Amino acid sequence: MTTLKGYSSILKTLLFALSIALALPTIASASQTNSQTQTKANYYKKQAQKNLKIYNECYQYKYYQKYLHYMKKYRNLMHPRVTIKTCERYGKLADRYEEAYEKYGYKIYKRYTNFYKKRESWCQAIVNKEGTVIGKVILDNGGEGNNKPLAGVEVKIVDAKGKVTTVKTNKRGYYKARNIAKGEANVTIVNPQYQNKTLIQSIGENPSSVKVRPFRRNWAKRDGYTYVTSLALQTQEVSLNKGTTTTVEVTGTYSNATSRDDTNNSTYTIDPSTIASIVGNTLAALSDGNTNITAKIDGVTSNIVNLEVYWEVNGHRLPPKPDEALNNSTLLGIDTNSNGVRDDVERFVYEKYKDDIYSKEKIAIAMQYGWAYQKIIETPTKESMKYQDDAIDCEWYWLGKESADLPIAEDTQWTIKHRIYTDTFKSLIYNTKERAKQYFKYNGTLSGGVFPGRLRSVDNCQVNIDELGEK
C-alpha cells in the first residue's frame, strides 16, 4: 500500500506538470515567429561565437569587429519581437511553478520559478530599454593584492529618466542596480566608511557617470578609497618673535603608500594655547614662551613640534614673563638676563614704549630708572643716591633738549606728557611690602641732608641718548 501511495503522488505531480504544459504556450524563445527567422538568428549567433573564439585565440581586432557585427544582427532579429505580452507570459509561468513548489515541494519547480522570474526581468529590460549598472568599491591599500572590498557602502544611481535607485555593495565590494533607463546615469558613492576613518577617494571619481545600454551589464568605473596612516608636522621656523608669523605644513601618508598636503584638513593641539594659534597654514606667535604643537586626523597624531616664542624690541630680547608669586617672594625678584633690572619691570618698560615715537630714548631712560631703584632696594643707603640722581638728571636733560624750542606753555604741557618716572612706574618698582620698606629706609637716610645741585648732562645717562637718532 505504501508503494502505491508513493506512485500515486508522483503521478499527481506529473499530471500537474502536464497540465501546465497543455494550458500555457510552449516554453520557447519569445522571438520565434517562424522557423525562417529562427534559423537566420541561429546563423548570426553561431557566426558571432565563431569570430569571438578566433579573436580570443589570436587577438586580432578584425575578428572582434565581426563578432560585434553578427551579434548586432542577432539582437535586431530577436529583441524587437519581445513585447509586454511576452513578459506577462513569463510572469504567469513563474507564478504557476511557484504554486507547484509550495504544494509539492520538489526543487525542480523552484528552479523553474527562478528561471522564469529572470526571463521576465530580461524581457522587461528589453521592452523598457533598460540595463544594469555594476561597479566595485574598494579600500585602496596600494597594489591589487593589498586592496580590500568595502562592504555595505551605499550607492545612488540616477538614470536618464531621473529615477533614483539605491543599492549597497556586497561583501566583495560589488554593487548591482537593475532596470536603469537607457542613456547617461550618474553614480554617487554616498557613505564609504572603514573603522570610523575619513576615507579619501584615490581611484575613480565621485560622482561619476556611466552610459547605460539596454539589456547589458554596464560597468561603472571602479571607486577606490584610502585613509591616513601617519602625519608629519613641520613649521618653517621653530623660534619666532612675538607678533610674527610663519607657515605650518602637515603631510599625510595614506594606506596606498601615497602622500598629500593635509595642512587644512588637520586639527591642531597647542599646549599651552596662549602662546600661538594656527589658521589655515599660518602659525602666529601670540605671546612669549614655549609650546608643543601636534596635528591630528581621525585619531592619527603627528610628531610634536616645540615652538619657542621670544619677545624682541629694537634688537633687544626680553626675558620671559616671570611667575608673579615667585618673583614677589624675594626682595630683588627675578632678573633672568642679569642686567640689574627686575624682569617684570623690564617687560613693563618695553611694552609701554615700544610703539612710542621716542621709543629708544624713553626705553633707555626708563631702564636706567629701573636699574637705579633696584640698587636702592638692594642697598638703601646715602651712597645709592647717586644712581637715582643720574637717572633723574638724564631724564630732565632729554626733556629740556626736546622742548627747548617750544613756547613756555607748550613746553610745560609737553614735559608733563612725556615724563617717564611716573607714579605708575614707582608703584611697580615698590610693589611688595618688603620693597616698600626698603624705599622708606632709603628716604630716612636722606632725611635732613643738604645736597648740592647737579648739571643736567648726557654724561649722566647710562646710554648716550643723543646717538639714538629718534624723533
Q: What is the pLDDT of residues 8-28, one digit of tens each?
A: 555 455 444 545 444 444 434
d(CA 51, CA 64): 7
pLDDT at 102: 65
- Residues 277, 207 share a domain: no
Of the three residues 60, 93, 128, the one that is the final residue of a domain is 128
138 burial (CB, 10 Å; 0-12 / 13-18 / 19+) is buried
353 with 214, same domain?
A: no
Partners of 261 in beta bridges: 251
Tell me, yes or no, whether 147 and 115 share the same domain. no
Do 269 and 336 reside in the same domain of the chain?
Answer: no
Most confident of 79-88, 218-227, 453-462: 218-227
| Range of lowest pLDDT (5-19, 146-160, 346-360) | 5-19
The SS3 assignment for 81 reads helix
Instruction: Give dist(CA 422, CA 334) in Å, integer.
Output: 22
Let me know whether 45 and 66 are in one domain: yes
Mean pLDDT of 449-460: 79
Query: Rounded distance, CA 311 to CA 342, Å?
Result: 16
The answer to whether residues 249 and 347 belong to one domain is no
Residues 6+ apart with CB under 8 A from 197: 227, 228, 298, 299
Strands 259-261 and 316-317: unpaired
On whether the CB atoms of residues 463 and 368 are closer than 8 A, the answer is yes
Mean pLDDT of the chain: 85
Look at the chain and report how many structural domains it folds into. Answer: 4
Angle at 154 between CA 153 and CA 158, to 5 degrees: 140
Q: Which of 76-85, 199-208, 282-291, 326-335 has the lowest mean pLDDT?
A: 76-85
270-295 residue pLDDT tens: 999 999 999 999 999 999 999 999 99
Does an H or E element contain 158, and which? strand 154-158
Question: C-alpha angle 46/50/56, rounded to 5°?
Answer: 145
Give the pLDDT score at 51. Answer: 87
pLDDT of residue 306: 97
Lowest mean pLDDT among 19-23, 178-182, 398-402: 19-23
Task: Please give the helix or strand (H or E) that residue 248 lies within, else none.
Answer: strand 245-254
State the pLDDT at residue 23: 41
Asked whether the beta carbons of 403 and 415 are under 8 A apart, the reply is yes
d(CA 420, CA 398): 11
Q: At 159, which CATH number?
A: 2.60.40.10
Strands 183-189 and 148-149: unpaired
The answer to whether the CB of 405 falls within 8 A of the CB of 341 is no
Contact predicate 92/24, CB 8 Å: yes
Strands 245-254 and 174-181: unpaired
Confidence of residue 112 (pLDDT cuts 50, 70, 90): low
Whether 93 and 15 share a structural domain: yes
Is the domain of 104 the same as that of 220? Answer: no
Say yes or no: 140 and 102 in one domain. Answer: no
| Average of per-residue pLDDT across 406-416 | 88
Whether the Cβ atoms of residue 51 and residue 60 lie closer than 8 Å to each other = no
User: Which sign does the torsion angle of CA 353, 359, 360, 361 carry?
Assistant: negative
Q: Does 419 score more than 60 pLDDT?
A: yes
- pLDDT for res 31: 40
Q: Looking at residue 197, what DSSP letter applies?
A: B
The domain of 183 spans 130-226
Burial class (CB in 10 A: 0-12, 13-18, 19+), 374: buried
Mean pLDDT confidence for 130-148: 88
Largest CA distance in the chain: 149
Same domain, 9 and 81: yes
Q: What's the confidence (pLDDT) of residue 131? A: 85
- Amino acid 253 reads T
pLDDT band at residue 469 using 50, 70 and 90 as cut-offs: low
Rounded CA separation 364/464 (Å): 9
- The percentage of the chain sitting over the pLDDT mark of 70, rounded to a whole number, equals 82
Model pLDDT for residues 50-101, shown as the tens digit of each residue: 888 888 888 787 888 888 888 878 777 665 555 656 676 767 777 777 676 6
Supply φ then ψ for residue 18, to 5 degrees.
Answer: -65, -35
- Give the Cα separation of 347 and 366 in Å (integer): 11
Q: What is the pLDDT of residue 26?
A: 42
Residues 31, 81 contacting (CB under 8 angstroms): yes
Last residue of a domain, one of 226, 254, 285: 226
Query: C-alpha grid cell for residue 194?
Result: 572603514
| Amino acid occupying residue 201 | Q
CB 370 within 8 A of CB 349: yes
**Are 221 and 335 members of one domain?**
no
Question: Residue range 110-137: average pLDDT?
Answer: 73
The predicted structure's pLDDT at residue 52: 84
Of 447, 261, 234, 431, the closest CA to residue 331 belongs to: 431
- pLDDT surpassing 90 at residue 249: yes
Output the pLDDT for position 243. 93
pLDDT the model gives residue 7: 47
Domain endpoint, select from 105, 128, 151 = 128
Nearest to 286, CA basis, from 347, 235, 323, 240: 240
- Confidence class for position 359, pLDDT limits 50, 70, 90: very high
Residue 309 has pLDDT above 50, yes or no: yes
Q: Which of 189-193, 203-207, 381-385, 445-449 has the lowest mean pLDDT?
A: 445-449
Q: How confident is the model at residue 29 (pLDDT cuts 50, 70, 90)?
A: very low
Higher pLDDT, 125 or 62: 62
Strand partners, 278: 283
Q: Are residues 156 and 232 in the same domain?
A: no
